[in-house]
Amino acid sequence: MVRSSQQIHPPRTPAPLLPAATVLLLRDTPNGIEVLMTRRSDNASFAPGAYVFPGGRIDDNDVEARPIASRRRTQSRLQLTQSIAAIRECFEELGILLARHADGRMVSGAEVAAMDRGSPPAMTLAAQCAVKGLRLASDEVFTFAHWITDRDLPKRFDVPFLVARMPEGQVPVADEAEQFEPCWVRPADALERHAKKRFFMIFPTVRTLERLATFDSVDAVLAVCAREQPIWTSCPRGGLLGGKEVRFMEHESPFGELALVCPDGQMVHTLDWQCEEPVRLLKNVMRLTAPNPGAMTGPGTNSYIVGDASTGYVVIDPGPNHFDHIGRLWRITQGDIRAIVCTHSHADHSPGALPLQALCKKQRPQILGMPSAKTARTAARFTPDRALANHERITLSGSSPQPEGGMHPTHTLRVIHTPGHAANHLCLLLEEDSLLFSGDHILNGSTTVIDPPDGNMTAYLHSLDLLDETCLAHAVEFILPAHGYVIGQARTAIARLKAHRMKREAKIAAAMRQQPDGTSEDWLPIAYDDVPKRLWPVAARSLQAHVERIRSMSQT
């Protein structure tokens, strides 16, 4: 766990969560699914003027209405209450009622129109249904998604997004107080209008419609929801991109970085990739991205600066020999660099080490790492001043007392030898803050290329297992890769990466069985049919690594 003393932003308590429920009323049309949406009042305290699905707060009356609500055998009591709340909100806001007579007939539009929708009504919806002998059709309402409002917002909800089929013979009529302009819209059309700024929607609505647009019928949606589990649960995080607020779900690449830098949801972290100034991730960790973006490097190579003014600094991966980048690393550290560590010897990671060392006139930091193996290509040869040993520790420690008492913090980097991408690849664990610097072994937004002979797929997979064990043993939650944003949910990310590799290997093995006399050129289009052709030359390297692994396993 990251030390609270190293967090950049002071802690804050997010607003409390309020239980709520919303429902997507769906209908089939010749052109696909349509969903019922309405526009919120411009004076609403939450999402004013936004197009939304009907819904609102869960109240005590929803719990008390359970005796007149139908329940599926697999439907939990919480889901039942949420469904009741959604049905009530549909009735109050749009005059739509999911309820049945004792003989199973759905209530008609005329019957609904005759009921009291006042605010407040003389009788609760449950009481009106009881008088008319109606049962709420809550057994036909299913959970689609689960949203928890972002931590930075002043009003927050814990809300399931439910789905139900629109009852026949009923017509939505807005209450003209909270909701206006009910409309049926195809998800794709709503998203297109939103993109053109003609149909304002908030983030959860957009993401829900994006997923809904992948279904071709209401039956298909309900079939997925019959598992009684939301397709996803998300509490988004927000940052700044291009000067504007943007939000991301857990599976999206910036999420982990926002969780590390702004754990309580502070909307302050800038996500723009730039190379002029360092990005401060913690008080003792900065990132400076080299100006070498490309297909193989993403936004550029991340150089990490660990330490503080009292302890001096360790620079991890000084990057390519780029004059301005090296100069910036020196200025950021004021030349007080105690060690330069290269995670491996590839040309976008280690060539900057010597020129950076040369700039440090007061004390010459050692260049540390593992020497390249004989299998390394000529451009990737590397000999450090001192070879690091597996599990060796590099320690930064201030010796002078702090003004407020106590000593300056210590920062300890432990070496973990992780061959696979390169024979001399290593990762570093910042022990006090449980952070893993992964070099090229784990990337954000792409998979690592394994290029034989220096790259080895079996070694790579074994190293993934080793890193997973390290994350478990040290409660590592965040991975800082050499390319891309910080990765959160470290062990989940590793498991997903390994599963991807094994799935790809299964496709390659199937291609080899399909064409037993074929070559890598024959197997590549089969095994990588889901990858753009422009990336096939790079994919061919990892394919060869998988082929070597498959053949070696068949011989044992």
Q: Judging by DSSP bridges, how do beta strands 244-248 and 237-241 pair with one another?
A: antiparallel
Contacting residues for 470 by C-beta, under 8 A, at least 6 apart: 416, 429, 436, 476
With vertex at residue 548, the alpha carbon angle to CA 542 and CA 552, rounded to the nearest 5 degrees, is: 145
With vertex at residue 229, the alpha carbon angle to CA 227 and CA 232, rounded to the nearest 5 degrees, is: 130
How many whole angstroms separate alpha carbon 204 and alpha carbon 233?
A: 11
CA distances from 176 to 93, 95, 96, 149, 350 (A): 8, 11, 14, 26, 65
How many whole angstroms separate alpha carbon 96 and alpha carbon 470?
A: 54
Question: Residue 324's closest CA among 291, 347, 354?
Answer: 291
How many whole angstroms separate alpha carbon 68 and alpha carbon 547?
A: 62
Residue 107 burial by CB count (10 A; 0-12/13-18/19+): exposed, middle or buried? buried
How many whole angstroms separate alpha carbon 515 and alpha carbon 529?
A: 15
Q: What is the pLDDT of residue 556?
A: 67
All domains of the chain in start order, with CATH: 17-235 (3.90.79.10), 284-501 (3.60.15.10), 502-554 (no CATH)
How many whole angstroms separate alpha carbon 374 and alpha carbon 371?
A: 10
Q: What is the pLDDT of residue 379?
A: 82
Q: What is the pLDDT of residue 406?
A: 53
How many Cβ atoms from other residues are within 10 Å of residue 43's Cβ? Answer: 9
Q: What is the pLDDT of residue 121?
A: 79
Contacting residues for 347 by C-beta, under 8 A, at least 6 apart: 320, 379, 380
Q: What is the pLDDT of residue 400?
A: 47
Q: What is the pLDDT of residue 46?
A: 79
Q: What is the pLDDT of residue 123?
A: 87
- Amino acid identity at 55: G
How many whole angstroms separate alpha carbon 189 and alpha carbon 191?
A: 5
Find out whether 91 and 125 touch, Cβ atoms under 8 Å: yes
CA torsion through residues 210, 216, 218, 221, sign: negative
Q: What is the pLDDT of residue 407?
A: 59
Model pTM greater than 0.95?
no
Dihedrals φ, ψ of 179, to 5°? -125, 145
The first and second tokens of residue 526, run together, are 């089969």
Find out whether 446 and 453 touch, Cβ atoms under 8 Å: no
Per-residue pLDDT 10s for the chain (556 aa) are: 899 999 999 999 999 999 999 999 999 999 999 999 999 888 877 788 899 999 999 999 999 999 999 999 999 999 999 999 999 999 999 999 999 999 999 999 999 999 988 878 788 999 999 999 999 999 999 999 999 999 999 999 999 999 999 999 999 998 887 788 899 999 999 999 999 999 999 999 999 999 999 999 999 999 999 999 999 999 999 999 999 999 999 999 999 999 999 999 999 999 999 899 999 999 999 999 999 999 889 999 999 999 999 999 999 999 999 999 999 999 999 999 999 999 999 999 999 999 999 999 888 999 999 999 999 888 888 999 999 999 999 999 875 444 444 557 899 999 999 999 999 999 999 999 999 999 999 999 889 999 999 999 999 999 999 999 999 999 999 999 999 999 999 999 999 999 999 999 999 999 999 999 999 999 999 999 999 999 999 999 999 999 999 999 987 6
Q: What is the pLDDT of residue 7?
A: 96
How many whole angstroms separate alpha carbon 165 and alpha carbon 142?
A: 10
Find out whether 130 and 112 touch, Cβ atoms under 8 Å: no
230: alpha, beta or left? (left if phi > 0; alpha if psi -120 to 50): beta
How many whole angstroms separate alpha carbon 283 and alpha carbon 294?
A: 29
Question: Residue 79's closest CA among 142, 166, 35?
Answer: 142
Q: Judging by DSSP bridges, how do beta strands 478-481 and 435-439 pair with one another?
A: parallel
* Three-state secondary structure call for residue 88: helix
